[in-house]
Amino acid sequence: MKIKPILIVAGEPNSIFVEILIKSLIKKKFKSPILLIISKKIFLSQTRKLKLKIPIKIINENNLGNLILDNKKLYLIDVNYNFIKPFEKISNKSNKYIKESFAIALKLLKSGLTNKFINGPVSKKYFLKNKFLGITEYLAEKTKTNNFAMLIYNKKLSVVPITTHLPLKLVVKNISKNLIIKKILLINNFYKNYLNVKPKIAVTGLNPHCESIDKYNEDKKIIEPAVKYLKNKINITGPLATDTIFLKNNRKKYNLIVGMYHDQVLSPMKTLFEYDAINITIGLPFIRISPDHGPNESMMGKNLSNPKSLFEAIKFLDNRW
């Protein structure tokens, strides 16, 4: 069977992504061909400074149907924007470049070339410009996907926030019984269909200790009814207090912990696993993963960045499809 390539958008041109990608590819020879959408000028300038070498081949995205890709080299689709200078500070100058990179990727994904997609980080301040909460939402709009979820995955334990990147004052307005049910069923189906696992799921409350001094208690009015509905369909428990669910003897009972807002579950997840986790968007027409880090421009060119998260992202896709 022909192995589908892993398609990668490098994202923000001046970030640590090239460094951690090359380190990942040097560390292990993956079975899948790797196809990288990036500025050739940026790629070569960064690899020269970092003194990291890997065989590459420049290809045209319009001729991919005539090519046989292998895992012996890194294939580059050149997105040529000469006004972006290597190692300059991140700004809105790169917006058009990033937008075109994603457009090329989405065209190739839609063509059926592959269903394996990774993107490097972008600047929320400049590229997303408060229009989207994150690349998860950006790709959902581009693919007309209404039901999607962010899964921060580690084989031992994963987490899902019901809301992502929202200010705390907006969280309550954006959670509902139906939203919780839809996202948890989506994640449960992903575990069963793609990972061949029937997950044990814990759902956190919203308020400290699942209690509230307010007359309206979201844990009782929203979360508890959602969990009660799902208990007849899947293996689920909740709502549970967040301050104890991540204790060792508690978390080992579950594959997945679902929280109501971003840092409620991502903070303990990153404390436990650091870089050993990947961000999977569930619900898109393809499997999209991003490494769990930002552009981190302050570390550019220093050759000190940890490639663990990106390495795990590539390994995850390489082993399964």
Q: What does the pLDDT profile of the chain (321 residues) look like in tens digits?
A: 478 999 999 988 888 899 999 999 999 889 999 999 999 988 998 898 888 889 999 998 887 877 888 999 999 999 987 767 777 777 888 889 999 999 999 999 999 999 999 999 888 788 887 678 888 889 999 999 999 999 999 999 999 999 988 899 999 999 999 999 999 999 999 999 999 999 999 999 999 998 888 888 999 999 999 999 999 999 999 999 999 999 999 999 999 999 999 999 999 999 999 878 889 999 999 999 988 667 777 777 788 788 898 999 999 999 776
* 34, 76 contact by CB (below 8 A): no
Alpha-carbon span 319 to 321, nearest angstrom: 6
CATH number for region 1-145+284-321: 3.40.718.10
> Which CATH topology does 147-283 take?
Isopropylmalate Dehydrogenase (3.40.718)
Closest CA to 151 of 31, 280, 20, 286: 280
- In 3D space, the residue among 193, 321, 10, 267 whose CA is nearest the CA of residue 257 turns out to be 267
For 13, how many CA atoms within 13 A lie in the half-sphere containing its CB? 31
pLDDT at 292: 65
Distances in whole angstroms, Cα of residue 244 to Cα of each of 159, 163, 241: 15, 21, 6
Q: Where in the chain is CATH 3.40.718.10? A: 1-145+284-321, 147-283
**Structure tokens, 278:** 């990947």
pLDDT digits (tens, 9 = 90+) for 81-106: 776 777 777 788 888 999 999 999 99
